């Protein structure tokens, strides 16, 4: 693979996740139209939203303790933002644009960026109260997570259906979003899907957007058939750690309430129901071999892995734990791409969905020794994404939604045939 961060933007994106960047005093991010640094309630955001060469959207750590030792610095020179490493120029970058609707208020006077925020190019919304693991007398939150630190700061504590609809409308009109992702934590009585349903139904009816749900695994798996019926395209389950003992140590609340087995059962079930199902893990909190094993298990049931790079966020239990080394992460992301392609999973198809907080599976191509090995599938998925994007730009979101559902059905049929052969 290309080991030069000057010419390999995927490697640069990964290296910046692992090392962060120091921002020179010449930079005026918000004044120059960039996004303010926000700690989002998804629990992993904290950094500079930027666009690297190759149109790779990223969220670069800037406020965490480990960043002070980073070899990278960001400078503004002649009106352009530039990355240097140990004083050597690496590349120009663009700031992710701050949406003009961020500072507008809903009819209930809530600032819209506290109702929903862009994470790359999609809209992330955490509509309910903070995860209960943070508010118990004895906290049992996941030790890497910062969700409980955000409430009332960068994220509103209450979001009515009207607040959300008004915010989504502005995000569609001005930012051209195609996808809304709903995220919740654990609530007593497993009420998280009940809470989300009214938002999903209303947004699907009015806008026809792609909709994703990230929530703990419900004990009644038939509830996911209901989510599919009301228009959810994607569900995601964050089990974080594949090694059982490490899972118990890192995620005590999830272990006690659900257990790793239940997460995996939900991933396997939903891979047979939805257009896309994701199993989410965090690389750097267990050995790379275990992360690779998790990737193969996820793709083996027809789901697509989402792999985050561990980020020791300020204020969390793991704020002093060192981030992973770039060289240890390369095999993980190489395997992520190859495992998806070997199983012909449709990665990179969703139009205008660039994720800043993770390296996308299709971006794992930057870590292969033969980038053209799967050129036909790569081209096929890129063309599909462009075609679908044209439907959204023409106001034909519902048509695009039907096509994506057809692609998802084709994937599920393919997995069924493979299972029957085996």
pLDDT of res. 39:
58
The reported pLDDT for the residue numbered 138 is 73
The pLDDT of residue 420 is 62
The position carrying tokens 């960043």 is 67
Residue 358: domain span: 100-406
Q: What is the pTM of this model?
A: 0.93
228 within a domain of the structure (yes/no)? yes
pLDDT-based confidence at residue 41 (cuts at 50, 70, 90): very low
Calculate mean pLDDT across residues 364-381: 95
Average pLDDT of the residues in 92-121: 94
Shared-domain flag, residues 287 and 338:
yes
Burial class (CB in 10 A: 0-12, 13-18, 19+), 331: middle
Examine the domain organization and report whether 253 and 350 are in the same domain: yes
Q: Are residues 14 and 154 in the same domain?
A: no
Q: How many whole angstroms from its chain centre is CA 85?
A: 27
Please name the helix (run of DSSP H) or strand (run of DSSP E) that holds residue 210, with its range, or none. strand 210-214
- The mean predicted confidence, pLDDT, of the chain is 92
User: Which among 95, 115, 138 is the end of a domain?
Assistant: 95
Q: Evaluate whether residue 353 is within a structural domain.
A: yes
Q: Are residues 40 and 107 in the same domain?
A: no
Q: What's the pLDDT at 85?
A: 98
**In the predicted structure, residue 156 carries a pLDDT above the cut 70:** no
The tokens for 395 are: 């106001």
For residue 250, tell me if it sits in a domain: yes
**Domain-embedded: residue 417:** no
Residue 144 and residue 125 share a domain = yes
Angle at 217 between CA 225 and CA 422, to 5 degrees: 70
Q: Which of 125-129, 285-289, 346-350 has the lowest mean pLDDT?
A: 125-129
> What is the DSSP code (8-state) at residue 60?
E
Average pLDDT (312-329) is 93
Element containing residue 181 per DSSP (H, E):
strand 179-183
416 found inside a domain: no
Give the count of domains, the chain: 2
Report if residue 414 sits inside a domain.
no
Indicate if 15 and 73 belong to the same structural domain: yes
Domain end (from 95, 121, 149): 95
What is the predicted pLDDT for the residue at 45?
57
Residue 154 pLDDT: 43
By the 8 A CB rule, do 125 and 181 touch?
A: yes
3-state helix, strand, coil in the chain (%, to 5): 40, 20, 40
Contact 32, 93 (CB under 8 A): no
Range 201-207 average pLDDT: 95
Same domain as 310, residue 167: yes
Would you say residue 387 lies in a domain? Answer: yes
Residue bearing the bigger pLDDT, 109 or 314 = 109
Is the pLDDT assigned to residue 228 strictly greater than 60?
Answer: yes
Q: Three-state secondary structure along 366-417?
A: HHCCCCCCCHHHHHHHHHHHHHHHHHHHCCCHHHHHHHHHHHHHHHHHHHHH
Same domain, 225 and 345: yes
* Predicted local distance difference test score (pLDDT) of residue 419: 66
Residue 153 confidence (pLDDT): 41
185 band by pLDDT with thresholds 50, 70 and 90: confident
Among the ranges given (270-284, 349-363, 398-412), the one the predictor scored with the smallest mean pLDDT: 398-412
Give the pLDDT of residue 42.
46
Looking at residue 150, what is its pLDDT? 54
> Do 81 and 142 have their domain in common?
no
Residue 181 belongs to some domain of the structure: yes
Same domain, yes or no: 172 and 37: no
380 close to 204: Cβ distance less than 8 angstroms:
no
pLDDT(44) > 60: no
Percent of the chain's residues with pLDDT above 70? 94
Least confident of 105-109, 300-304, 314-318: 314-318
The yes-or-no verdict on residue 100 having pLDDT over 80 is yes
Judgement on whether residues 243 and 386 belong to the same structural domain of the protein = yes
The domain boundary, picked from 95, 128, 148, lies at 95
CATH classification of the domain holding 197: 3.20.20.70
Same domain, 62 and 123: no
């Amino acid at each position: 693979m290309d080991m030069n961060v000057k010419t390999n933007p995927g490697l640069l994106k990964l290296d910046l996740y692992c090392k962060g960047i120091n921002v020179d005093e010449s930079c005026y991010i918000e004044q120059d139209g960039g996004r303010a640094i926000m700690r989002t309630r998804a629990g992993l955001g904290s950094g500079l939203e930027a666009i690297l060469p190759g149109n790779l959207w990223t969220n670069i750590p800037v406020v965490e303790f480990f960043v002070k030792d980073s070899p990278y610095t960001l400078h503004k020179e002649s009106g352009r933002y530039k990355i240097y490493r140990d004083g050597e120029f690496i590349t120009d970058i663009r700031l992710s644009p701050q949406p003009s609707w961020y500072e507008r208020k809903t009819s209930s006077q809530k600032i819209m960026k506290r109702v929903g925020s862009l994470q790359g190019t999609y809209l992330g919304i955490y509509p309910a109260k903070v995860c209960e693991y943070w508010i118990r007398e004895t906290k049992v939150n996941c030790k890497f997570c910062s969700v409980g630190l955000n409430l009332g700061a960068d994220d509103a504590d209450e979001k009515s259906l009207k607040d959300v609809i008004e915010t989504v409308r502005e995000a569609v009109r001005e930012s051209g979003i195609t996808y809304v992702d709903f995220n919740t934590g654990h609530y007593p009585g497993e009420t998280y899907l009940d809470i989300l349903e009214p938002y999903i139904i209303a947004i699907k009816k009015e806008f026809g957007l792609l909709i994703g749900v990230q929530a703990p695994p419900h004990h009644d798996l038939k509830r996911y058939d209901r989510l599919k019926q009301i228009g959810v395209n994607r569900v995601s389950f964050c089990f974080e750690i594949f090694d059982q003992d490490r899972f118990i140590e890192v995620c005590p609340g999830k272990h006690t309430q659900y257990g790793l087995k239940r997460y995996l059962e939900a991933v396997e079930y939903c891979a047979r129901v939805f257009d896309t199902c994701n199993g989410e893990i965090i690389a750097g909190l267990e050995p790379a071999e275990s992360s690779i094993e998790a990737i193969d298990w996820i793709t083996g049931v027809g789901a697509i892995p989402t792999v985050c790079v561990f980020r020791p966020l300020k204020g969390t239990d793991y704020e002093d734990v060192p981030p992973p080394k770039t060289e240890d992460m390369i095999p993980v992301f190489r395997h992520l791409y190859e495992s998806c392609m070997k199983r012909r999973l449709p990665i990179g198809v969703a139009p205008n969905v660039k994720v800043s907080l993770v390296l996308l599976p299709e971006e794992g191509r930057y870590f292969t020794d033969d980038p053209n090995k799967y050129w036909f599938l790569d081209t096929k998925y890129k063309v599909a994404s462009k075609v679908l994007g044209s439907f959204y730009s023409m106001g034909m979101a519902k048509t695009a939604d039907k096509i994506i559902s057809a692609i998802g059905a084709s994937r599920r049929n393919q997995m069924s045939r493979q299972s029957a052969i085996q």
